[in-house]
Structure 1
Amino acid sequence: MSFLTMNDLAAPLGLLRLLAADFAGLPAVNVDVSTIFPNTLELVSHDDFGAFEAWRSALGIEADSVSYAEQSGGQTRVLQAETDHTGVRLRLTAYSHSHSHQDNAGEVAA
């Protein structure tokens, strides 16, 4: 088994530093850098598709490259897009509750 060092994560961490400087005014999102995918930086927004859209636009990701899915029986909507940025895979993900999920009484919430 090989062990990674922090140097092995230098590329995505460097990209994070660059994005923080270049896009300081964009909405804050969760950040994930993983030893499982050491050349990937993931930016994740929860309950805010607007933040996803702001980042997508700033990163120059084409709208038609965004994928849409539902999970948790249709209760959660998911947007995802990926791009290569300075040699790092940059994954942008957003989760939001569906507007048509059912409440405890069994009625459809608006």
Structure 2
Amino acid sequence: MITLTLDAMSAPLLALRLFSAEYPHLPAPCLDVSTVYPDRLTLSFHDDLAAFEAWRDALGIAAESITHHVQCDGRTQVLEAKADYAGAQLHLVGYAKVSAAGSVLSGTGDAA
């Protein structure tokens, strides 16, 4: 087994540092940097698709590139967007409840 050094995770850590300087006004996400995917920075938003959308818009990720699915429980919708940023693979994820009426919102103001 190869042990990674912190240097192997420099791209997502740099992206995170740049985000803290460029976007301090945006909602704070849950963050994930992992030795499993050392080039990836995941920003996740739970029960706040508006925060997901704010980050997507600030990073210039096209709304058309968002993928959407409902988890197998039928109660949780998931929005995902991916982009490259400062050498890191950026992964935005938004989770929200499916409304009681059963409609699913895309998080961008349009029906899915």
What SS does structure 2 have at the residue aligned with 1:41?
strand
Q: TM-score, normalised by structure 1?
A: 0.89
1:20-99 equivalences in 2 (<5 Å): 20-99=20-99
Cα shift at 1:101 = 7.5
Q: Which runs of 4+ in 1 moved over 4 A?
A: none
Do 2:83 and 2:89's aligned partners in 1 also have CA atoms closer than 8 Å? yes
Unaligned runs of 5+ in 2: 103-112
1:6-21 equivalences in 2 (<5 Å): 6-21=6-21
- Could you tell me how far apart the structure 2 residues matched to 1:101 and 1:5 are? 49
Report the RMSD for the aligned CA atoms in angstroms.
1.3
Aligned pair count reads: 102
Larger CA Rg, structure 1 vs 2: 1
Do 2:15 and 2:86's aligned partners in 1 also have CA atoms closer than 8 Å? yes
Unaligned runs of 5+ in 1: 103-110
What SS does structure 1 have at the residue aligned with 2:84?
strand
Deviations 1:11-68 (A, max 9, x none): 1111101001100000011000010000000000000000000000000000000000
The code of the aligned residue for 1:81 comes to: A
- Could you tell me how far apart the structure 2 residues matched to 1:87 and 1:7 are? 13
Deviations 1:65-105 (A, max 9, x none): 00000004210000000001122100000001111279xxx
Do 1:75 and 1:101's aligned partners in 2 also have CA atoms closer than 8 Å? no
The code of the aligned residue for 1:60 comes to: G
- Could you tell me how far apart the structure 2 residues matched to 1:78 and 1:92 are? 10
Which residue of structure 1 lines up, in the alignment, with residue 110 of structure 2? none
